Chain A
Amino acid sequence: DAGVIQSPRHEVTEMGQEVTLRCKPISGHNSLFWYRQTMMRGLELLIYFNNNVPIDDSGMPEDRFSAKMPNASFSTLKIQPSEPRDSAVYFCASSLAGTGIHEQYFGPGTRLTVT
């Protein structure tokens, strides 16, 4: 298996532009997580899905952020409009829920820079 795949790996955009981050989880996994990591705030959980359904989006900073999971093999995180303070590394992770273990597998991340 190729592991969790994220695209793009790097994104540089100007303030006000829309940004879409993409994630393909490991095949067979039924939970998907979006995290944001910065030096100041560390690793923050933004939202997670179980069986394609959003379970907890309390970490989503504000209405500018939205996430979808239209099927078991694809998820997007959208920021519209983007702001410089959104600059961070965004990670997607997946796991297999129902085993009681919930080990998460992380993608390589998308480094977002908003100028």
Chain B
Amino acid sequence: SQQGEEDPQALSIQEGENATMNCSYKTSINNLQWYRQNSGRGLVHLILIRSNEREKHSGRLRVTLDTSKKSSSLLITASRAADTASYFCATLHTGTASKLTFGTGTRLQVTL
């Protein structure tokens, strides 16, 4: 299976702290994307990193990619209660056309 795995499965932090989520995958990729899902809603694209990139920033989000270890991390700095959601990594694997393979997700809880 190419399915990515995220860890931790669940993360609870206080507002203002940083949250780090990790994603591992098994086969070569074209790009890796992170999505967010609020309870009861569809997934929303957050950020994309290409296979030839090592780090990307977008606002309070920082994504790193290590293709040698087949892993990525998502860092949310200065977390807010509104960041409470599930976060999924998704990989576009070489030779799979437009199909993304989603990970199992990390459930983030940010408390006041």
A interface residues, Cβ below 8 angstroms from B? 4, 31, 33, 42-43, 45, 48, 50, 55-56, 91, 93, 95, 97, 100-109
Contact = CB atoms under 8 A, between A and B. Distances in A.
A68 B110 CA distance: 41
A110 to B, nearest CB: 11
A21 to B, nearest CB: 14
Interface of B: 30-31, 33, 35, 40-45, 48, 88, 90, 92, 97-102, 104-105
B105 A42 contact: yes
A104 B41 contact: no
Given A43-B102, A48-B98, A56-B99, 7 more contacts: A91-B42, A91-B43, A101-B48, A102-B92, A103-B33, A104-B35, A109-B41
Nearest to A95: B98
B105 A48 contact: no
